[in-house]
Amino acid sequence: MEILIHSLVISAWCLGFRTIIDEGQAFHFLYKWAKKYESKPIMKPLILCVTCTASIHGLIIHSLMWGFSFEMIITIIFSAYLNSLGWLTLEKLFAE
């Protein structure tokens, strides 16, 4: 149960972050800046890919809130899955 709750917290952060940097949002300049440096390997997990953000953002959030543990690996993988599903859902909802 703990893994599910931690994964939901991380996914909520990642999806919220990705939403506020989307086109037309307040922090879209971050996304445009990251696109300029898209060839840098760090940009995808840091800003550009909502599934990939679970790795860096999840590591930071999990270590700050709950510390390092083996559970962290499972939580981050599950968060990446939730991010993918969540982003697909958000794109379909707002595509209209």
- Quick: pLDDT tens for 18-34: 999 999 999 999 999 99
pLDDT confidence of residue 36: 95
pLDDT confidence of residue 16: 95
Residues in the chain: 96
3-class DSSP state for residue 93?
A: helix
What is the pLDDT tens value at each position of the chain, 96 positions in all? 999 999 999 999 999 999 999 999 999 999 999 999 999 999 999 999 999 999 999 999 999 999 999 999 999 999 999 999 999 998 898 886
pLDDT confidence of residue 96: 65
Q: What CA–CA distance (Å, rounded) separates 50 from 37?
A: 17
Question: What six digits make up the tokens of 63?
Answer: 């270590």
Domain chopping of the chain, boundaries = 2-94
